[in-house]
Amino acid sequence: MDFTNTDIWIFDLDNTLYPPEMALFPQIEARMNAYVMRRLSVGADHADRLRRDYWHRYGTTLAGLMAEHAIDPSAYLAEVHDIDFSELTPAPDLASAISALPGRKLIHTNADARYARRVLTARDLDLFEAVYGVEETGFHPKPRSEAYQSVIEQAGIDPARAAFFEDDPRNLAVPHELGMRTVLVGPGRDGPNALAGPGTIGDHVQHRTGDLTGFLQGIVTAC
């Protein structure tokens, strides 16, 4: 596990800095479906199919809705992230492990930054220099290259000195191409929800872990 010369640590948020069992995504997906049903005047099954299809083709449901229906992204994000955070619990061991990493720590999420900060606060993980949500990347979601390039430029980072932690394997392809070290957290998702089965794991995934805290502790020990 070689993280020599790594001093920039970039983390995804959902199902990466909290486990899927805390079940925020089912709440979000239900609100996405309700939004699609109302906005497009379709039934529940149709809305669910569209949500998944847009996720596959555009990277996020939001990106598909913007491309095909010109929706207001800010209103959408506020609505779908208006959820119950009570299932989230503090993660003191994870907080200590992240804090001990040498260098800069950033969040890059396809959610919005306001929602991300609420998650971080609930987990006692207010440790990050900056949070880059989909609004900060000009509504370009991962896995689009524009999303990563936007964060690189805004943060002023050298990708060769960075590591990217993510639960969705496809979102690690561009970081790998850019020269970042890549870490898949969890089994790998192949679908727009945490209940989907494992995805295709390619050579762009350099490391895998089901225990982010332990993995980070190992990095710190090695450093």
Flag the least confident range among 48-57, 61-70, 106-115, 183-192: 183-192
CA dist., res. 59 & res. 110, Å (int): 9
In the predicted structure, residue 145 carries a pLDDT above the cut 90: yes
Return d(Cα 81, Cα 123) in angstroms, integer.
17
* Yes or no: domain 8-19+90-222 corresponds to CATH 3.40.50.300: no
**Where in the sequence of the chain do the CATH 3.40.50.1000 domains occur?**
8-19+90-222
Query: What average pLDDT does range 79-86 have in this prediction?
Result: 96
- Kindly report whether the peptide bond that precedes residue 143 is cis, defined as omega within 30 degrees of 0: yes
CATH 1.10.150.450 domain residues, the chain: 24-80
Architecture of domain 24-80: Orthogonal Bundle (1.10)
> What percent of the chain has pLDDT above 70?
94
Total-model pTM: 0.92
Alpha carbon dihedral 41, 47, 49, 53, in 10-degree steps, equals 80
Residue 197 predicted with pLDDT over 50: no
Q: Which amino acid is at 59?
A: G
Calpha distance 17→120 (Å, rounded): 8
